[in-house]
Chain A
Amino acid sequence: MVSILRRSPKLLSSICRRQFSASSDGNLTSHGGKSMNLYSAINQALHIALETDPRSYVFGEDVGFGGVFRCTTGLVDRYGKDRVFNTPLCEQGIVGFGIGLAAMGNRAIAEIQFADYIYPAFDQIVNEAAKFRYRSGNQFNCGGLTIRAPYGAVGHGGHYHSQSPEAFFCHVPGIKVVIPRSPYQAKGLLLSCIRDQNPVVFFEPKLLYRLAVEEVPEDDFMLPLSEAEVIREGSDITLVGWGAQLSVMEQACIDAEKDGISCELIDLRTLMPWDKETVEASVKKTGRLLISHEAPVTGGFGAEISASIVERCFLRLEAPVSRVCGLDTPFPLVFEPFYMPTKNKILDAIKATVKY
């Protein structure tokens, strides 16, 4: 067991310290532009958002100093303390303030330092932000609100710096939930979220802040929300995931290919509202579906995807939908490698599903 624990960080980094394929033809990055990591891409998107809209604001805990993950570096120097500012440590206050700011027609870009800390703000997001437009009969809204929060495992985060709370927010009509997988995606999707007319929760895979590097165009570009992307085409089984999990899944696809199994890999990108059509079309082709996420399996967003696809593709399915997810335990400290939906767990599930 000790050797497993020792080995896995290395394994993890070997999976992640690589270029991310972001184009639909599966080629390694060729967007042009500058090679950069994920936090730099986020930083660039924030620069562009503040540059292009004088009514946009960035705030959160320690963002004035660049934030704990350096995503907001240089913003305060360039756009001033009136538009980029530190808040007290009060997540409920941060989000509530953002709703009010957005309701006045501004772009409020709030940072919650870790997704694990978002729960004090849960009421503001669920009861205030999500329902503002609906309950006021469209007189008011907080569409300009974007909440950024780093999520997910980092190898040693423990209970309160590792969680993936996306499923809670996917249960709330009125907000969008978006998770990028790479620097290019992060920049394009974040700009779309900031400019979207609905409140958005944008979860950033903190494991990839420094590890994921790819070419990202310097200019202002947006990627469409609610559009999944097929990042690897295949014919035997469809794999659906988001965020940091995609790099793990991609490794499993590569290994499965050696065994003659052709996997199609889909990045959902927007979880709410999600692109059922792309997943449906793929499952109709392959006849099999596997979903993988870091959050605990029970009640995870994989359950929703599974139910919807069974509804739509029942007669085309050749095997039960497989979910390779986090375990139904609190996020553990020393047993993170056991908890995680690792490449080998996915590979086993791929084989079991294809052989079913």
Chain B
Amino acid sequence: MALSHAASRSNLLKPLVSGFSYSSSLRRSISSAADNSSSLTIETSVPFTAHKCDEPSRSVETNPKELLGFFRDMALMRRMEIAADSLYKAKLIRGFCHLYDGQEAVAVGMEAAITKKDAIITAYRDHCTFLGRGGTLLEIFAELMGRQAGCSRGKGGSMHFYKKDACFYGGHGIVGAQVPLGCGVAFAQKYSKDETVTFALYGDGAANQGQLFEALNISALWDLPVILVCENNHYGMGTAEWRAAKSPAYYKRGDYVPGLKVDGMDALAVKQACKFAKEHALKNGPIILEMDTYRYHGHSMSDPGSTYRTRDEISGVRQERDPIERIRKLIISYDLATEKELKDIEKEVRKEVDEAIAQAKENPLPDPSELFTNVYVKGFGTESFGADRKELRAVLP
């Protein structure tokens, strides 16, 4: 794995362990690819497999700051999802809740390759994607608990995170429905000629929805700058991919659309693939990236995640392929930080999460009148009727 090492260790840890507020340090770490003080070339553990395109190089350019940023961001995501699990069990989070732990490398690797002007649209497993786009922990936990400070003002809940200023188009509840939307976003981007692309994420379960193929045809027909990212965690809810898909080679499912299979547990491989895909999409139109990844939790909080797969399988992935451990090993082997320094980062992250939760708990629920807002555009003047339309009615604000 180890190749060249041209880094100097000086001051690399400082920005990470100093007391920056979460959001600023995240932004720093995600944009850190631009750091040119030192550079590293690391080979991906698994080669890419390409369909109708040349695969990108396995040698990924990175730097110590980026690696430490990956570690911190993924540790934060992991901690955040574990905390959400507890909050759900304590009934502080209601609605349906789908956790991302295990898949963190996809979110951080993708962000490292693109800018906030590139759009991302995903399904309901959206907490970490939102965090990657620069969302704050408070916005996340407040939204999860349906509070005013939430990113969707407490009206969306777990499945409906949005961040317009970072081109994050959410946060969609129906399996596969977000992919055609992503094609529409990409069409608008093509029109504006600003060299941006859309990453439309979906799971291996959604890969079998008919509308995905409709979207593929349209985007290929019109050369839209859209990257269809199949986060293949190998289970569509409780059904293993091979039970649901005649061909689980999702990167080839576009037929005439090129595809690339990527180790989705390797943040650097994800970064390389997303960089490659963005260039491809701007020049040639759509491409599919299949991220081979894994979710440790069940499909949603009502799924223990142990009825359709073995505990050995889960612990095996944790031991062999965990995205955080992979980066931890890299950092240690390149002597970029000590075990203790990484443990300190994890402790710090834990504290940030706890603080955000405490803050979110203090945050009030939306005002009851919010029940009637945003149904239509403001000032539309439509009446909403109460339980008995003779007695209660309100003109929508």
Contact = CB atoms under 8 A, between A and B. Distances in A.
A292 B146 CA distance: 28
B368 to A, nearest CB: 6
Interface in A58-85: 61-62, 64-65, 68
A323 B388 contact: yes
A160 B175 CA distance: 11
A333 to B, nearest CB: 4
Contacts of B177: 120
Contacts of A224: none
Q: How many of chain A's residues touch chain B, expressed as a range?
A: 35 or more
B222 interface: no
Contacts of B158: 158
B388 A119 contact: no
Nearest to A66: B307
A120 B157 contact: no
Task: Give chain B's interface secondary structure class.
Answer: loop
Interface string B282-315: 0000000000000000000011000110000000
Contacts of A332: 155, 371
Given A158-B96, A334-B154, A327 B385 contact: yes
Contacts of B302: 68
Contacts of B205: 88-89
A49 interface: no
B383 to A, nearest CB: 8
B159 A158 contact: yes
A208 to B, nearest CB: 17
A117 to B, nearest CB: 7
B387 A349 contact: yes
A160 B387 contact: no
Contacts of A329: 371-372, 375, 384
Interface in B349-373: 365-366, 368, 370-372
A2 interface: yes
Interface in A150-193: 155-161
Contact of B244 (A5, A88, A158): A88
A335 B209 CA distance: 32
Interface string B153-164: 011111110000
Contacts of A323: 388-389
The residue in A1, A65, A89, A330 that gathers the most chain B C-beta atoms within 10 A of its C-beta is: A89
B245 A88 contact: yes
Given A88-B236, A158-B96, A120 B385 contact: no
A338 B174 contact: no
Contact of B211 (A120, A298, A330): A120
Contacts of B154: 333-334
A123 B211 CA distance: 13
A328 B384 contact: yes
B173 interface: yes
Contacts of B368: 1, 335, 338
B366 A334 contact: yes
B191 to A, nearest CB: 28
Contact of B206 (A89, A116, A160, A338): A89
B157 A333 contact: yes
B60 interface: no
A65 to B, nearest CB: 5
Nearest to A346: B387
A240 to B, nearest CB: 15
B236 A89 contact: yes
Given A86-B244, A120-B209, A158-B94, 4 more contacts: A2-B365, A320-B390, A330-B375, A334-B157
Interface of B: 94-96, 146, 154-160, 173-177, 205-206, 208-211, 236-239, 243-245, 302-303, 307-308, 365-366, 368, 370-372, 375, 384-391
14 contacts: A2-B365, A65-B307, A89-B237, A89-B244, A116-B173, A120-B210, A157-B95, A160-B174, A161-B96, A325-B387, A327-B372, A333-B157, A334-B146, A352-B391
